[in-house]
Amino acid sequence: MSLLEEWLSPFATVNTGFREPNEYILQYSDSPQPQQCVISGGRVESYLTSQTRAVLNVIFDRGAYLPDLGLWLDSRRKRSVGYISHAHMDHVARHQRPILTSGTRVLLKTLLQRSDPCTLEYGETYDTANYSLTLYPAGHCLGSAQVLVRSKVSGQRVLYTGDFKVRPNPTAEPLQSVSCDTLIIESTFGRPEYCFPPQEEVLDSFFETLRGWLNRGETPVVLAYRMGKSQELLHHLLSQGFEVALEESAYVVTQSYQEAGVEFPGPFRSFDGTFREGEVLLFPPGKGTRAALERLKGRRMVAMSGWAVHNGARYRLGVDEAFPFSDHADYSELVDYVKLVNPKQVYTINGFPDLASHLKAQGYQAEHLKSGQASVQLKLL
Ligand SMILES: [Zn+2]
């Protein structure tokens, strides 16, 4: 029997794991929950039960799961109860009882026809026996929300950002920072090369390019995802006096935005296959778009994407111009947000692991969770 086993035997351990030099995870034969303890000089100095330990466990597997609370966040699989941060399809499933904002509910009304949604406004709290959760704006698109989950047993607070945008977005409530103990943050642009220029500069160059094309009698086609970025760019274009026609599915989404109370600073129309001189076309990227626009004479394409920070983006995206415009936070904004929220533990998901490495070097407890991966405590069991 090793010295460690000797130390642990009085505690009827059936499972052990190693965390920090003096910190172990063990499971008592009479307890269903694993326990964390600190051992020093052959004695258990203190132990942290699942009720009192500093951070809640997190599993990331096509969505984030908080096993201590039995709560799924943005699960891609159908759950009995599931929080949906926003209406992009990589965050959505047909949960029996989805928890979401009224804006997200409007955008998902067809998909969630057979669900029994729990709709919350920003700042409103949903209570269960184990936890309460409160939604805060994420600035990403209509209805996008961060969720603060508070364990009623330990008082620990987990903030899950979902996708978020720091820069102004005229079609979404501005991001609100929320302090927490554990932060689960997206890291889509979690690499130092993804630092975007100031948004106003990017938009000015974009408008100038469009005006140049229109003055030469060419037809500008702006490529942007049908939900979120299309409406954001539509708002900017209309406020600059551009005439805009949207691809039909993006137009339908824009009507939902209007239904949810978003106002646009001018008229616009659904593209019916005929181009009117002086118009800018807004289209989602994809094969269908290229086919639909094949016969359009004098077509000039521009992509609006965070990936456009790379010099070769125009060639890779197959467009005439590309501007680094995103509905996500850039690298420096992600780092700044972590500093602002000041968590004890950070988990990065949905992007580059570099952000977690940088945060670790800055002294944060940080870990990147890949799909199918659990947080440190659970991995050891
Ligand atoms: Zn999104």
Ligand 1 centroid to Cα of residue 311, in Å, is: 24
Give the per-residue pLDDT at 371: 73
pLDDT of residue 57: 84
Euclidean distance between CA atoms 67 and 158, whole angstroms: 12
Contact between 249 and 284 (Cβ < 8 Å): yes
161 CA distance to ligand 1 middle (Å):
11
Instruction: Give the C-alpha separation, 306 to 186, whole Å.
Output: 15
Task: Map residue 151 onto helix, strand or coil.
Answer: strand
DSSP SS3 for 205: helix
- Whole-number Å distance between alpha carbons of 322 and 314: 6
Which residues are registered as beta bridge partners of 243? 279
Distance 163 CA to ligand 1 centre (A): 5
How many angstroms is it from 88 CA to the middle of ligand 1? 5
CA 249 to centroid of ligand 1, rounded, Å:
17
| Cα 197 to Cα 311: distance, rounded to the nearest angstrom | 14
Instruction: Compute the distance from residue 29 Cα to the ligand 1 centre, in Å.
Output: 44
Nearest to 329 by CA among 197, 228, 226, 188: 188
What pLDDT, on a 0 to 100 scale, did the predictor assign at position 288? 77
Tokens standing for residue 58: 């997190």
CA dihedral 27, 18, 371, 76 (to 10 degrees): 20
C-alpha of 373 from chain center:
18
Ligand 1 center to 51 CA (angstroms): 33
| Ligand 1 centroid to residue 154 C-alpha, Å | 31
Instruction: Compute, in angstroms, the gap from residue 103 CA to the centroid of ligand 1.
Output: 14
| Centre of ligand 1 from the C-alpha of residue 355, in Å | 19
Task: Quote the pLDDT of residue 40.
Answer: 43
User: 167 C-alpha vs ligand 1 centroid, how far in Å?
Assistant: 15
Cα of 198 from ligand 1 centre, angstroms: 21
For residue 190, the CA-to-ligand 1 centroid distance in Å is 15
Both tokens of 376, joined, read 């440190």
The CA 6 to ligand 1 mean position distance, Å, reads 51
Please identify every stretch of the chain with a pLDDT value under 70, giving residue numbers as ranges. Answer: 1-55, 372-374, 376-381
The answer to whether 86 touches 73, Cβ cutoff 8 Å, is no
